[in-house]
Amino acid sequence: MKFNAPSQLSVIIAVILVLIAIIGYFIAIPFVSVYAFWISIVGFIVLLAGVVLKGF
């Protein structure tokens, strides 16, 4: 399996999702605070998809 560099868009989306999750962990945001862990997991899955899939 050959890994590729993720596109800039997938990195930006992943970083935004993880930052939202971190902020939601420390500050009470109605939906985000409850699902902060899963939002961060989705961010890392987006980043993983950007590395594994070409052009994502």
pTM to 2 decimals? 0.87
Give pLDDT, residue 8: 94
CA distances from 18 to 6, 9, 53 (A): 16, 14, 20
* Residue 55 to residues 3, 42, 45, Cα–Cα distance (Å): 11, 18, 15
Kindly state whether residue 3 falls inside one of the protein's structural domains: no
Count of structural domains, the chain: 1
Whether residue 30 lies inside any domain: the answer is yes
Domain of 43? 8-52
Q: Determine, yes or no, domain membership for 36.
A: yes
CB of 6 closer than 8 Å to CB of 56: yes
Higher per-residue confidence, 50 vs 54: 50
CA end-to-end span of the chain, whole Å?
16
How far is it, in rounded angstroms, from Cα 35 to Cα 3? 30
CA 17, CA 11: separation in Å to the nearest integer? 10
Query: Is there a domain that residue 38 lies in?
Result: yes
At residue 56, the pLDDT reads 76
Residues 3-53: pLDDT tens digits? 989 999 999 999 999 999 999 999 999 999 999 999 999 999 999 999 999
